[in-house]
Amino acid sequence: MMKKSLRMHEYDQPQPKRVSKEKEESPREVRVELPHFYGKQNVQTYLDWVMKVEQLFACNHVREERKVPLATQSFQTNAMYWWTALERERRLYKDPPIEYWNDLRGALRRRHIPLYYNRKLMDKLQRLHQKYLSVEEYGQKMVLYIIRVEINEENHTTISRFLSGLKLEIRNKVELLSCKDLNDLIQLNIKVEKQILIKQSSQKQSSYSVSYDKDDFQRGE
């Protein structure tokens, strides 16, 4: 009887839950290939590389702890030598290793961007006007300058900056309209610019037609 009761008790024991393979296996990380960076003393090349890298990080949802290893793997020649020397120097002075992208970007910026660059770029931004540019080209140039100089200004300040540099004929048509952000304002101005160009084109055709009719009339007379 004792053996039988023990067996019955064994059957009453809850079976251990099986963990599904899906929970055990961690999700595979997306393979991200960054463009090579050679570390040449060229501001434009460095800034374009940083912009592309940050786009890839954002699109692929790269975790913070992976950013520095991925970025440094893309270093070639001069950049690789600089990074190796920087790591050795930090170990020598017992400084903590660079583990975050913002810290690495700051170190790269100090190396590749001269002190006068921000001042020069800010001056270009302050003097920027549409002049011979289309609205789209003017807007792209302003956005690029703002990104390059890394300024954080209020949305209404950027909109006022954009409006002040527009051609007068376009600004008069849009400055009283409300826009939520700079991109919205640029798209609105592109539409206004197209309307003005169409109107100017039709006026030219009309004036050409009138002068042509006069010449025909004089020749016929």
Task: Kindly report, residue by residue over 183-198, the tens digit of the pLDDT.
Answer: 999 999 999 999 988 8
Among left, alpha and beta (phi > 0; psi -120 to 50; other), residue 94 is: left
Q: Is the pTM of this model over 0.75?
A: no
Token pair 């030219």 in the structure block, residue: 204
Average pLDDT, the chain: 84
For the stretch 110-165, pLDDT in tens is 999 998 998 999 999 999 999 999 999 999 999 999 988 888 888 889 999 999 99
Residue among 86, 85, 52, 89 at smallest CA distance from 70: 52
Q: pLDDT: is 175 or 101 the higher one?
A: 101
pLDDT one-digit tens code per residue, 20-29: 554 444 455 6
Question: What pLDDT was estimated at residue 13?
Answer: 53
The pLDDT score that the predictor gives to residue 178 is: 79
Convert the pLDDT of each residue in 30-60 to its tens digit. Answer: 789 999 999 987 899 999 999 999 999 999 9
